[in-house]
Amino acid sequence: MLEAELLNGLRRVLGDDRVVVDDAGVADRRHDYWVLSHLRAWRGVFEGRPGAVVRPVSTAEVQEVVRLAAAAGVAVVPFGLGSGVCGGVLPDAGTLLVDLSSMDNVRRIDEVNLTASFDAGVNGLVAEEAVAERGLTIGHWPQSIAVSSVGGWVSTRAAGQFSTAYGSIEDMVYALEVVLPDGSLVELGQAPRASAGPDLRHLFLGAEGTMGIVTGVTLALRRRPEARAWRAFHVPSLAAGLDVQRRILQDGWLPPVVRQYDAREARRTFREWSIKGQGLLLMCHEGPAGRVEAELAAVDALAAEGGLTPADAAAAEHWFGHRNQVPSWEELFEGGLVVDTIEVSGPWTRVEEIYDAVIADVSAVEGVVAVSAHSSHAYRTGVNLYFTFAAAGEPDDLQDAYWACWDAAMAATARHGGGIAHHHGIGRVRLQHLVHDLGVAGIDLLRTVKGAVDPAGLMNPGNLLPDA
């Protein structure tokens, strides 16, 4: 547990109510949405809790909290809304969990420059609804929009479902306000673009709480699109669909949603609209009406040239209407299954072999009963793959099967030239695989940077960076 001196100091700054130490009070802050933490909790073997949970409501309070923790040599774990799926939040009794969810003010919406500033703890859907009232949109729609925070989006380098046209969170961040591990404040991002040295905002984009606490986020906005249309195509082979996606993107068209399901997922999720043995490509087109019309015509032509056949666009609208529904992990454990998703990416020339290798290697893991994938974020240079696997077994064995699936998927992706993490982050689940992305020299560089920003190693230790 934490020393009384630190707890008393925290109470002086925040008051008794916002410094929580009792088991019941910290119960829902012991871990994030990582399936392995949920599995351990479900099996009754989850150990660990933060020494205390504090709930600052202002940047100045976060600074005071961080200064007190630093003076006491106590590690700090930032917590947004806990929807992270990689084990980024796993505090032990010697740590202080800084819960940002009470920092929930929409600070400012600027309708001329199209920016909006938020406290880091603002719920994603609340942020989107605040700008929607003015006819604007952030354009960032992670499946977890209703259960994740703006600061969490930044800290995990999140990507939303409409990213193909609107970009991922790094394309939307205009300015950041961050409390550094010594309690000082840095404000980054003054204008639409800068040529003023390395872009320091990127130190915190994807830092997963290891470089400081993001307290304020300014995002660039868009006006809500004039028109929206849906398209769906049957895909005779993975390669044919990927090639059509590539041509759409490389010809300069930008549908915000481009999702290609393999035959297994097409059957499982869109039975009513799919053809057995074929995949499904779904698209949403948005923008000025004239551009949407032109894009639809171009996409129809490219799809026909590529051997795809039109499917009922109702499939795409069905996806839109149900896109954020997910079963709870516990429901699946009750059924004797552990299920997880693994998102990777690859250049167009390698993505098919990545798909084949991951499907083959994960399928070979003992206990695996299903592996499938879809793509959901397309670029001129390549595309992501979002795998879902399910392994069956006795509760005590599920954890081993789980790790074996992850190891197989990471190794196969790396072996075939892919990127091991598209948008969920590293956390603890990918810790040992980060080297595939950064290389040994890159890990050393990240460690050097981390050592300079956080010399005492107090910001979310054990997360993101593997031990030396």
Ligand X SMILES: Cc1cc2nc3c(=O)[nH]c(=O)nc-3n(C[C@H](O)[C@H](O)[C@H](O)COP(=O)(O)OP(=O)(O)OC[C@H]3O[C@@H](n4cnc5c(N)ncnc54)[C@H](O)[C@@H]3O)c2cc1C
Q: Minimal distance in Å, beta carbon 195 to ligand X?
A: 27
According to the binding rule CB under 6 A, does residue 9 interact with ligand X? no
Candidates 43-51, 68-76, 145-153, 409-417: pick the segment binding ligand X (CB under 6 A): 145-153
In angstroms, rounded to a whole number, what is the distance separating the alpha carbons of residues 4 and 69?
Answer: 12
- Cβ count within 10 A of residue 168: 20
According to the binding rule CB under 6 A, does residue 214 interact with ligand X? yes
Q: Which of 326, 360, 364, 445 binds ligand X (CB under 6 A)?
A: 326
Q: Minimal distance in Å, beta carbon 299 to ligand X?
A: 23
Interface pattern 405-424 for ligand X (x via CB under 6 A): ------------------xx
Q: Minimal distance in Å, beta carbon 149 to ligand X?
A: 3
First to last CA, the chain: 27
Q: Minimal distance in Å, beta carbon 260 to ligand X?
A: 16
Closer to ligand X by Cβ: residue 121 or 418: 121
According to the binding rule CB under 6 A, does residue 338 interact with ligand X? no
Q: Answer yes or no: are the C-beta atoms of 120 and 217 closer than 8 Å.
A: yes
Closer to ligand X by Cβ: residue 33 or 355: 33
**DSSP assignment string, 278-302:** -EEEEEEEEESHHHHHHHHHHHHHH
- Return the DSSP state at 405: H
Q: Minimal distance in Å, beta carbon 351 to ligand X?
A: 19
In angstroms, rounded to a whole number, what is the distance separating the alpha carbons of residues 258 and 164?
Answer: 7
Sign of the four-CA dihedral 76, 81, 82, 84: negative
What are the DSSP E strand ranges found in 166-226?
Answer: 173-179, 185-188, 213-220, 222-223
Candidates 205-213, 295-303, 332-340, 440-448: pick the segment binding ligand X (CB under 6 A): 205-213
Q: Answer yes or no: are the C-beta atoms of 395 and 421 closer than 8 Å.
A: no
According to the binding rule CB under 6 A, does residue 100 interact with ligand X? yes
Query: Which residues fall within 8 angstroms of residue 363, CB to CB, at 6 or more apart?
Result: 371
Candidates 126-134, 207-215, 362-370, 402-410: pick the segment binding ligand X (CB under 6 A): 207-215
Q: Answer yes or no: are the C-beta atoms of 127 and 152 closer than 8 Å.
A: no
According to the binding rule CB under 6 A, does residue 152 interact with ligand X? yes
According to the binding rule CB under 6 A, does residue 387 interact with ligand X? no
Size of the site for ligand X (CB under 6 A): 37
According to the binding rule CB under 6 A, does residue 346 interact with ligand X? no
Sign of the four-CA dihedral 427, 431, 436, 439: positive
Q: Which of 35, 89, 172, 391 binds ligand X (CB under 6 A)?
A: 89
290: exposed, middle or buried (C-beta count within 10 Å: 0-12, 13-18, 19+)? exposed
198: exposed, middle or buried (C-beta count within 10 Å: 0-12, 13-18, 19+)? exposed
According to the binding rule CB under 6 A, does residue 372 interact with ligand X? no
Q: Between the CA of residue 409 and those of 184, 205, 292, 434, 435, what are the distances in Å?
A: 40, 25, 37, 13, 15
- Cβ count within 10 A of residue 6: 20
Closer to ligand X by Cβ: residue 120 or 409: 120
According to the binding rule CB under 6 A, does residue 84 interact with ligand X? yes
According to the binding rule CB under 6 A, does residue 164 interact with ligand X? no
Interface pattern 270-309 for ligand X (x via CB under 6 A): ----------------------------------------
Rg over CA atoms, the chain: 23
According to the binding rule CB under 6 A, does residue 269 interact with ligand X? no
According to the binding rule CB under 6 A, does residue 91 interact with ligand X? no
According to the binding rule CB under 6 A, does residue 463 interact with ligand X? yes
Q: Answer yes or no: are the C-beta atoms of 308 and 225 closer than 8 Å.
A: no
Binding residues vs ligand X (CB under 6 A): 32-33, 77-85, 88-89, 100, 120, 142-144, 148-149, 151-153, 155-156, 158-159, 208-209, 213-214, 326, 423-425, 460, 463
